[in-house]
Amino acid sequence: MFSYLYMKILESSPERYDRGISMASLGAADRSRERMVKDLGPDDRVADLGTGTGALAFLAAEKGATVTGLDASAGMLAVAERKRAAHPAGDRVRFVQASVGQMDEVLETGACTAVVSSLLFSELSPDERSYALSQAFRTLVPGGRLVISDETLPVGFFRRLVYRAVRLVMVLVSFLLVQAGTRPVTGLPEMVVQEGFTVERVEILNRMGSFFILFARKPETP
Ligand SMILES: C[S@@+](CC[C@H](N)C(=O)[O-])C[C@H]1O[C@@H](n2cnc3c(N)ncnc32)[C@H](O)[C@@H]1O
């Protein structure tokens, strides 16, 4: 759980982000990204929202997919671009500096077979989350996939108590250091359905129950 607030601190130091997020999440962030790209292949055209240093984008490209990674942070994208130059699948990836609010400008309607996003939604406001989902729907072909992983509130009184106690400390620390925080993502399956997607499954990835991957699909017919 530490990773999700700690990541705000790491983002202020993009050079250290990859190693830091991997260590702080005890490998959960790496494992979740591997699972997210499992079903992608050479026919896929993918948008990675909040791509950061491009970890998920490169995994998708290694599967043969063509990827557009979108992120608001010039610092994170500078690291992503350096990695791209040295990556064997780097020619299948392009990075665009844009916020989620600019998805209508940078992603064409029906251009993608999959929209993926790892650890972004906890940084978005409720309005930005709805907007990102509606734009993902527009961007996807019929039958296209939406795969989102992030932090959520655990189920159960004691788990939630522990989670909230630890989180409170981390919120204070990260706010003091970088004046920023994150919010656990709740109610996402309902929001996704409201935008017209069909939820296929939600996987919980850690013992605390605070990290999920949601798999959804845009219906083949309207
Ligand atoms: C915790 S990092 C996750 C990076 C990467 N997806 C990963 O799995 O490691 C969150 C990223 O979302 C980006 N971000 C936050 N708010 C955004 C917004 N409104 N539009 C675009 N990117 C945003 C940040 O710049 C950061 O790179």
* Count of C-beta atoms within a 10 Å radius of residue 156: 10
Ligand 1 centroid, distance to 77 Cα (angstroms): 10
Is the pLDDT at 174 greater than 50, yes or no? yes
In this structure, the residue with its CA closest to atom 25 of ligand 1 is 73
Mean pLDDT of 1-14: 61
50 touches ligand 1 (CB under 6 Å): yes
174 touches ligand 1 (CB under 6 Å): no
Most ligand 1 atoms within 8 A of CB, residue of 25, 48, 58, 71 to mutate: 71
pLDDT at res. 24: 65
103 touches ligand 1 (CB under 6 Å): no
Most ligand 1 atoms within 8 A of CB, residue of 10, 31, 58, 120 to mutate: 120
Is the pLDDT at 11 greater than 80, yes or no? no
pLDDT at res. 182: 67
pLDDT at res. 121: 95
Mean pLDDT of 201-211: 85
Atom of ligand 1 nearest to the CA of 4: 1
pLDDT at res. 2: 45
Give me the domains of the chain, ranges plus CATH numbers.
2-217 (3.40.50.150)
Mean pLDDT of 5-9: 61
Average pLDDT, the chain: 88
Q: Which residue has the higher pLDDT, 147 or 154?
A: 147
* pTM above threshold 0.85: yes
Q: Are 36 and 57 in contact (CB under 8 A)?
A: no
pLDDT at res. 192: 98
7 touches ligand 1 (CB under 6 Å): yes
pLDDT at res. 109: 98
pLDDT at res. 168: 72
